[in-house]
Amino acid sequence: MRDSTAVVGEGRLSAQDRARVATWRFRLQGGGVYVYLLPSLALLALFTYYPMGFSAYLSLFRWNVLNPERIFVGFENYLILWREPLFWLVLRNNLFYALGTIPTTMALALFLAVLVNQNLGRVRSVYRVALFYPTMVPMVAAAMLWVWIFNPGIGLFNYYSGFLGVPRIEWLYDRHWALPAIIIMSIWKNFGYFMLIYLAALQGVPADLYEAASIEGAGPWRRFWGVTFPLLTPASLFVFVVAIISSFQVFDQVFVMTQGGPADQTNVLTFYIYQNAFRFWDIGMGATLTTIFICLLLVLVVVVFRYVGRRVYYEAD
Amino acid sequence: MTIGERVRILNHRWRLDHLATHLTLGLFALVTVTPYLWLLSTSLKLRTEVFTPTPKWIPWPINFGNYAEVFDRAPFGTFLVNTIIVVCGILAVQLLTVTLAAYVFARRKFRGADILFLLFLIQMMIPIHATFLPNFLTLKSLDLLNTRVAMMLPFFASGYGTFLLRQAFKQIPRDLEDAAVIDGCGGLHFLWHVLIPLAKPTLVAFGLISLVSHWNDYLWPLIVTDTPDVRTLTIGLGMFVQQESGADWTLLMAATAFVTAPLMGIFLVFQRKFIESFMFTGLKG
């Protein structure tokens, strides 16, 4: 693209035109640009950056139903959380959810993308639609549907898994199986989107590389690990980052399916903040949790931009 | 062996390979589609038909009454209108803010550009799920709670959209702009008449993704609304579930099916466009 200079090369312009272009470029290096940026920046400041500082500030106060007047307490809220077993359980649940969803979703997405990417004729778009459609279903609706499917007595899941010899499980009512149930439905909901990202990346893999590998006598298995997988590294990193960030956002499923129960076994960070702020009206504690959440995300941001970002974003440039 | 024979053998092997692929994909597709079919099936059953020891897939007699009853019990029509207003409102403002910002980041050199762009990128990683409490307090002090605007405001600026569109604008040669300036078509004219038409695929892709993701929003609208007249479909469904706690599955599934129907219908009709858009943005991301 860059070398299309020849079309309107500056060398061919008259001195007057050249001066005009120069003035124009100069003018736009001035204050003008900030006017274009102002709407976005004002909104970002108000709804992304101000909240960070505001919640950090509020986290230093005791401010709840019993203390409607804010009282400055320093780091008391953080100390309370540190000693609160529920806080650690919530973090553990978030970790379990991430470990339960991310590797499975990525593996499934990659596997199906490689299959769908083959020359399958017209049914290919049928497969794509069938595997991708859960992305179009609102999470609340999906959660509602899966409450019905996980119904212990007459639910579809217990019925069909019974054929595979799996014993009947109480799922959302069982403290050990409620979180796995949420993980299963989340995988169903999300793998299709990641499959499409992999499909897009696969289309960038040159076909002659496969031909070369075939001529060398590499079977499908070797071709995948030797050619496809390494070339998909940027896509995998991108998927990984998106998956981690969205795993922290889990809320709708928990809200609809379990309300954090049974015995807080599915309580996660977003829901815990919601509970503290909007059920117990403990704004100070809610703000403290918000601050911890944002710090976690910012650490993630630094890691991503340091180690992953360069490879992913520069790819797109 | 003649060439014809060789081609036939190759074809045969090709088909066998693909048979395995088709079987695997077919199985996964079936498993993925099953829940939605079960949703539709349940929503069309009579209340008494639900409690069968083996799943009954074909609802007979077909009972559309569940849908009518859902409409009687909760204002799903209002919810639908509110949802459309909110998602279109968000997208309209986003297109404006995103285009202006992306234009500057793609075409201009200015002091602080890198740092400012980083602020946009970081927004992608700090979702509303982390900041909903302070944002709720902000809207409360602005006296905007329980309005449609409240549901839209935090999404008016989009780091993701700015990022996508900046990439698209960068693809367009610089000299085109110089030429336009010489012809007296610079700045906003150039943006409107040249850049935007050329970046249309990106705009469409971003538009679809924005519509789908805000159609599905739950947490934020849940927090800032408390009366049915401003609520969206997803919140309406959540409320309906709590209100009908008697576990009447036919009604609940009819309500759920209705909430998913508009997006699902549009998706099935324009599936190619949707899938291309989601693929496209994944590629760009």
Residue spans of the domains in chain B: they are 3-66, 76-243
Two tokens at A120? 């399958």
Taking an 8 Å cut-off on Cβ atoms, the answer to whether A293 and B130 are in contact is yes
Q: With pLDDT > 90 as the criterion, what percentage of chain B qualifies?
A: 54
Quick check: A111 and A202 in contact, CB under 8 A? no
Work out the pLDDT band at B79, boundaries 50, 70, 90: very high
- Nearby residues of B283 by Cβ (< 8 Å), 6 or more positions away: A197, A200, A201, A204
- How many domains is chain A partitioned into structurally? 1
Question: What pLDDT is stored for residue B29 in this prediction?
Answer: 95
Q: Which residue carries 């050329």 as its tokens?
A: B198
| Structural domain includes residue A34 | no
Q: What is the pTM of this model?
A: 0.88
- Helix, strand, coil share (%) of chain B residues, nearest 5: 80, 0, 20
| Structural domain includes residue A240 | yes
Question: What pLDDT is stored for residue A69 in this prediction?
Answer: 87
**Chain B 141-170, residues with CB within 8 Å of chain A CB atoms:** 153-154, 156-157, 159, 162, 167, 170
**The pLDDT of residue B101 is above 90:** yes
Smallest Cα distance from A176 to chain B, Å: 23
Question: ipTM of this predicted complex?
Answer: 0.89
Per-residue model confidence as pLDDT tens for chain A (317 residues): 344 444 444 456 677 777 777 666 655 555 578 888 999 999 999 999 999 999 999 999 999 888 888 889 989 999 999 999 999 999 999 999 999 999 999 999 999 999 998 878 888 899 999 999 999 999 999 999 999 899 888 888 988 888 888 888 889 999 999 999 999 999 999 999 999 999 988 888 887 887 888 888 888 888 888 888 888 888 888 888 889 988 999 999 999 999 998 999 999 999 999 999 999 999 999 999 999 999 999 998 788 777 765 554 444 43
Which residues make beta-bridge pairs with A263? none
Q: Which residue carries 């014809």 as its tokens?
A: B4
Nearest by Cα to B101 from B175, B190, B15, B162: B162
**Is B109 in a helix, a strand, or coil?**
coil
Question: What pLDDT is stored for residue A27 in this prediction?
Answer: 59
What does each C-alpha distance from B135 to A99, B63, B90, B155, B169 come to in angstroms? 30, 44, 17, 12, 32
| Structural domain includes residue A290 | yes
Assess if CATH 1.10.3720.10 describes domain B76-243.
yes
What does each C-alpha distance from A19 to A46, A116, B49, B190 come to in angstroms? 41, 55, 81, 19
Mean pLDDT is lowest, of A152-166, A257-271, B214-228, B255-269, for A152-166
Alpha-helical runs (H) found in B44-64: none
Taking an 8 Å cut-off on Cβ atoms, the answer to whether A200 and B178 are in contact is no
| Structural domain includes residue A58 | no
| Structural domain includes residue A43 | no
Quick check: A127 and B275 in contact, CB under 8 A? no
Q: Which residue of chain B has the CA closest to A201?
A: B283
| Structural domain includes residue A173 | yes
> Best residue in A12, A25, A47 to probe B by mutation, most B CBs within 10 Å?
A47
Taking the Cβ of residue B285 and every Cβ of chain A, the question of whether any pair is shorter than 8 Å is answered with: yes
Question: What pLDDT is stored for residue A7 in this prediction?
Answer: 42
Q: Report the CATH number that the domain containing residue A312 is assigned in CATH.
A: 1.10.3720.10
pLDDT (average), residues B233-237: 92
Taking an 8 Å cut-off on Cβ atoms, the answer to whether A270 and B119 are in contact is no
Full domain range(s) for residue A85: 77-316
Q: How far apart are the C-alpha atoms of B281 and A192, rounded to whole Å?
A: 14
Give CA torsion, residues B19, B22, B24, B30, to 10 deg: -140
| Structural domain includes residue A51 | no
| Structural domain includes residue A285 | yes
Taking an 8 Å cut-off on Cβ atoms, the answer to whether B256 and A144 are in contact is yes
Q: How far apart are the C-alpha atoms of A17 and A25, rounded to whole Å?
A: 12
Taking the Cβ of residue B131 and every Cβ of chain A, the question of whether any pair is shorter than 8 Å is answered with: yes
